[in-house]
Structure 1
Amino acid sequence: MDISIHASFLPHDGPEAALVFYRDVLGFEVRGDAGHAGMRWLTVGPPGRPETSIVLHPAIADPGLTDEERRTIVEMMAKGTFAMVLLATDDIDAAFDLLAARGADVVQEPTDQPYGVRDCAFRDPAGNLIRLQERS
């Protein structure tokens, strides 16, 4: 059986800010931009890797959510505890320098972790944690 990850979902609280971060800061290509009922879903991914995407969706678009659940989601996003994605690169230090120079919100500079990886972290405009790990 051959199973792969096609897309992961991250919430956004502003499609334009999300687009600037994922396209202009991370350098991802925009693969889709769909709107419905005043909301937007953006599909982005790394150039040259069409098999893997991130769908940026309106955080509170699910009609089954209660007002309390929506408030909780917004609060967790503001703290950076609602969603996270782990990305990888061959040169963590060069990638960190480039992303920081492009204005990414730095959470952690490149660090050798006790569990054997070197990584750093940023937040996207919605507060999602973006960890970037060096490939070994």
Structure 2
Amino acid sequence: MNITINASFLPHTDPEAALAFYRDILGFEVRLDVGQGTMRWLTVGPTGQPDTSIVLTPPAVDPGITADERRTIAEMMAKGTYAGILLATRDLDGTFDRLQASGVEVVQEPTEQPYGLRDCAVRDPSGNMVRIQELR
């Protein structure tokens, strides 16, 4: 069996802010932009890796979700505990410097973790945790 990861989903609360972060700051290419207003589904991914994407979706749009569940999701997103993604780079310090200079919310500066990886953490404009580890 040969299975790969094609896409991962993250919620967004503002499609323009999401594009500014993932496209303009991280340098991902926009592959799809479907919908209008705040009801936009954006597919972005790293240049040169067409088979790996992040789908940025409006949160809690499933009709089966209750109003209480929507409130809980919004609260968790605001705290940065609802969703996250792990990215990787060979230049963690340069990437972190660029992120910090852009004004993103820094959660953790580059740190050598006790489990053997060096990484940092920021939040995207919707509150999602974005950890970036250093490839060695």
Provide TM-score, normalisation by structure 2: 0.96
Amino acid at match of 1:34: V
State the match for 2:134 in structure 1.
134
The code of the aligned residue for 1:127 comes to: G
In the TM superposition, what is the alpha-carbon distance from 1:103 to its structure 2 partner?
Answer: 2.1
| Deviation of the 1:102 alpha carbon | 2.0
Please report how far the alpha carbon of residue 30 of structure 1 lies from its aligned counterpart in structure 2 after TM superposition.
0.4
Q: How far apart, in 2, do the equivalents of 1:53 and 1:28 lie?
A: 9
CA deviation digits over 1:40-72, x for unaligned, max 9? 000000111111000000002111100000000
Query: How many pairs align?
Result: 136
Q: Give yes or no for contact 2:89–2:132 (8 Å, CA) kept in 1.
A: yes
Once residues 25 and 50 of structure 2 are traced to their aligned partners in structure 1, the CA distance between those partners, rounded to angstroms, is: 19
Query: AA paired with 1:13?
Result: T
1:87 and 2:84 aligned: no
Alpha carbons 1:25, 1:104 under 8 Å: kept: no
Question: Share of identical aligned residues, percent?
Answer: 68
The answer to whether structure 1 residue 78 and structure 2 residue 71 are counterparts is no
Q: Secondary structure of the residue that 1:115 maps to in structure 2?
A: coil
Measured in 2, the distance between the counterparts of 1:126 and 1:62 equals 18
CA contact (8 A) 1:25 1:103 kept: no
Contact 2:13 2:38 in 1 (8 A): no
Residue matched to 1:14:
14
Runs of 4+ in 1 over 4 A off after TM superposition: none
* C-alpha distance in 2 between matches for 1:38 and 1:130: 22
Does 2:32 align with 1:32? yes
What SS does structure 2 have at the residue aligned with 1:20? helix
Distance 1:110 1:38, change over 3 A: closer
Q: CA deviation at 1:110?
A: 0.1
- Cα deviation, 1:109-132, whole Å, max 9, x if unaligned, reads 000000000000000011000000
In the alignment, which residue of structure 1 is the partner of 2:112? 112
How does the TM-score come out when normalised to structure 1?
0.96
- 1:81-108 alpha-carbon deviations (Å, 9 max, x no partner): 0001000000111111111112221111
Per the TM alignment, residue 37 of structure 1 is displaced from its structure 2 partner at its CA by 8.8
> Cα offset for 1:39?
0.9
Unaligned runs of 5+ in 2: none
